[in-house]
Amino acid sequence: MMMILLYMFFMIPFSFLNYSWLLSQFCYLFLYMILLVKSFNMYFTSISYFLGMDMFSYNLILLSFMISSYMIISMRNSLNMSLYIFINLSLCFFLLIIFSSMNFFYMYISFEFVLIPLVILVLGWGYQPERLLAGLYLFFYTVLVSLPLLVLIMSIYMINGSMFFDYLKYDSKFMLIHFIMVFVFMVKLPMFLVHFWLPKAHVQAPVSGSMILAGLMLKIGGYGLIRIMFMYEWMFMYYSFMWYSLSLVGSVLVGMVCLIQGDIKCLIAYSSVSHMGMVIMGLMTMSMWGLMGSYLLMLGHGFCSSGLFYMANLFYMRTGSRSFYINKGLMVYMPSCSMIWFIYCSFNMSCPPSINFLSEVMILSSMLNYWFNSFLFFVGISFICACFSYYLYSYSQHGLYHNLYSFSLMNLMEFLCLFMHMLPLLAYSVLIMSLF
């Protein structure tokens, strides 16, 4: 793993050269190919300097490289491109440490550091003046809930004498410890009631900021929950009903909030909150199917939501607005996008060809084992999810547009980025079905 980190460190000079975005693409592609040929299993592999890789971190590291590559494609014509690629590289570097760290303290430090480039991205390349308020929301939500965790980490080290995940086992049932450990990652997911920073950050962030927020930042919360679940199993079995109940009700309510949105990016952001509620429910059931379903839903949502934000930005660049009241009749205006937008909206509501469908079936089975009446809420969540996905497609694609002719303003690079978002969604589902 240190080889990959050093490779990324020595990519920094590339960001200040001419055609730096093209060089960065080749570097990310090469890193991706290196990881593809590495083996991984249930236990840590590629161990070096307290860094390693296992089944949970492997796909998330691949996702980090892919989303970072898509971010550069989406912003290749922006101002200060060299600085932007440096920020992109910093984000990917810290994400790699989070997903490959075998030490809880390493993971916490990177968890905090990843906030700095993200806030710079929102403040530096955002659209409206309200991005300052969005940056404050993002910063204070994350910092305020993570400071108690630092104190807890120090106390755990004093008790156990180690911060390695394999050595950390805790049998206490003290509610405060569980709350501090879990709440940090619940805010990052985000869970219902602590999700208010997410729509603000998404709406004010540039397209690449939205892509990395939806594709990777939300996954840090799920990954952290998976890690501490293996450390404190008894606590999760004792208190998981609270988070489960809150997410069960919250996913239905947030789905209803989606139906009254007038902004395309805001609707996609709220749909992320609803899907992350399902991830929490799957994890809190403490079953293998729930765990794997939540993990696969995180991967599927990473590609699907990132692709939706990228397409929403394509519409914004052409029409100058993200409002549903302005973006009408896009099937006439940009017919080449209509089919791709339909596929992404279908994947967002978990239609069968996608990995999202498989993951939701696994989560449903674990929810029925945990509490049988959960299926009533699950039906409601799925129905509302289908409603706002249909709303997202039909209100933007149908209707009257002011132009009387149809044409496509898409270029090849944009089609490539959209296709590369879609390909892993189908490839992962084929892979999982072949395993079964």
| Residue located via tokens 């001419």 | 18
Is 152 inside a domain boundary?
yes
**Cα-trace Rg, the chain:** 21
CA-wise closest residue to 311 among 393, 216, 255: 393
pLDDT of 130 over the 80 cut: yes
pLDDT of 113 over the 70 cut: yes
Is 91 inside a domain boundary?
no
| Most confident option among 16-20, 186-190, 398-402 | 186-190
Q: 16-20, 111-115, 392-396: which has the minimum mean pLDDT?
A: 16-20
- pLDDT tens-place string over residues 345-355: 999 999 988 89
User: Sorting pLDDT into bands at 50, 70 and 90, what band is 77?
Assistant: confident
Cβ–Cβ under 8 Å, residues 299 and 276: no
List, in sequence order, every residue forming a beta bridge with 22; answer none if it has no partner.
none
Q: What is the pLDDT of residue 270?
A: 95
Q: What's the domain count of the chain?
A: 1
Is 153 inside a domain boundary?
yes
Q: For 197, which DSSP code?
A: H
Structural domain including 367 reads: 103-435
Element (H, E) at 52: strand 51-53
pTM confidence score: 0.95
CA dist., res. 169 & res. 150, Å (int): 18
Is 93 inside a domain boundary?
no
Mean pLDDT of the 233-259 span: 93
Give the tokens for residue 66: 């892919």
pLDDT of 197 over the 60 cut: yes
CA dist., res. 362 & res. 203, Å (int): 32
DSSP of 129-158, one letter per residue? Answer: TTHHHHHHHHHHHHHHHHHHHHHHHHHHHH
pLDDT of 357 over the 90 cut: yes
pLDDT of 142 over the 90 cut: no
CA dist., res. 310 & res. 307, Å (int): 5
Is 41 inside a domain boundary?
no
User: Sorting pLDDT into bands at 50, 70 and 90, what band is 404?
Assistant: low
Q: What is the pLDDT of residue 386?
A: 94
CA dist., res. 388 & res. 41, Å (int): 38
User: Residue type for 221, please?
Assistant: G
Cβ–Cβ under 8 Å, residues 207 and 310: yes
Is 95 inside a domain boundary?
no
pLDDT of 277 over the 60 cut: yes
Is 346 inside a domain boundary?
yes
CA-wise closest residue to 75 among 260, 207, 213: 207
Is 147 inside a domain boundary?
yes
Mean pLDDT of the 332-340 span: 87
Q: What is the pLDDT of residue 405?
A: 57
Mean predicted lDDT score pLDDT of the chain = 89
- pLDDT tens-place string over residues 388-398: 999 999 999 99
Cβ–Cβ under 8 Å, residues 98 and 221: no
Element (H, E) at 51: strand 51-53
List, in sequence order, every residue forming a beta bridge with 51; answer none if it has no partner.
48, 101
CA dist., res. 92 & res. 86, Å (int): 10
Q: What is the pLDDT of residue 282?
A: 95
| Residue located via tokens 């969540």 | 381
Q: Does residue 114 or residue 431 have the better pLDDT?
A: 114
User: Sorting pLDDT into bands at 50, 70 and 90, what band is 403?
Assistant: low
Q: What is the pLDDT of residue 184?
A: 93
